[in-house]
Amino acid sequence: MTSPEFLFDFGSPNAWLSHLVLPDIEARTGVKFSYQPVLLGGIFRATGNRSPAEAYANIRNKMAYEHLEMERFIRRHGVTRFRFNPYFPVNTLQLMRGAVAAQREDVFAPYVEAVFSAMWEHPRKMDDPEVFRAALTDAGLPVERLLQRAADQDVKDELLANTNQAVERGVFGIPSFFVGDELYFGKDRLRDVEEEILRRQNAGAGAAA
């Protein structure tokens, strides 16, 4: 089967929580998720969606329940590496262009870990260029090479194409996951994602037999 996909933007705390849980799913299923950087702001503009903080701001009890669900997820999965970023919301355009650049410079995994951590584990104001630069430096990443690459038009175009393609496939928010053509939205659908992976593996094994 093709690799399941994880569509992410560093600005989403739920994407970070998903990132922390995915290794357990990979260990249980033997698959590796393919990480796909997209721009959440672009998805919102294309679909008319808004962040929960905006969409639910005037709904009594709704945001309190959202926080409760987050706390339940954190307890269920034993997450200890999470602190809400006091600078939220953060403009992630440069961060996401950097992710595409990191793919091309073969430092994608350490880049993702460093930037996610600087957003949601040891929170920094990551839309400040100097803070962003310092976070990459602290992680031992090739800062100048990444920043130069992120400014290239082909990197900008790739991020835009990733985002537009996600919308065409039905995505309206982050985190989103694909198992084949099946879309799943939100960290709370990870159980369904895992079940679909296992279902396809079992179907493939049956066909091979």
Tell me the domain boundaries of the chain.
5-208
Torsion sign, CA atoms 131, 134, 139, 140: positive
- The reported pLDDT for the residue numbered 45 is 97
Q: Which helix (H) or strand (E) holds 101?
A: helix 93-104
Strands (E) across 5-134 are located at 5-8, 34-37
Which strands, in side-by-side order, build the sheet including 5-8? Answer: 34-37, 5-8, 176-179, 182-185
8 Å CB contact between 196 and 179: yes
Helix segments in 90-169, DSSP class H: 93-104, 108-120, 129-138, 143-150, 153-168
Cis ω for the linkage preceding 37 (within 30 of 0): no
How far apart, in whole angstroms, are the C-alpha atoms of residue 119 and residue 125? 8
Low-confidence ranges of the chain (pLDDT < 70): 1, 206-209
| CATH 3.40.50.1000 is held by the domain 5-208 | no
- The reported pLDDT for the residue numbered 208 is 66
How many residues can be counted in the chain?
209
How far apart, in whole angstroms, are the C-alpha atoms of residue 181 and residue 2? 10
**pTM for the full model?**
0.94
How far apart, in whole angstroms, are the C-alpha atoms of residue 49 and residue 34? 25
Cα 43 to Cα 30, 107, 165, 168, 202, distances in angstroms: 31, 25, 10, 10, 34
Coil, strand or helix at 123: coil
How far apart, in whole angstroms, are the C-alpha atoms of residue 174 and residue 185? 7
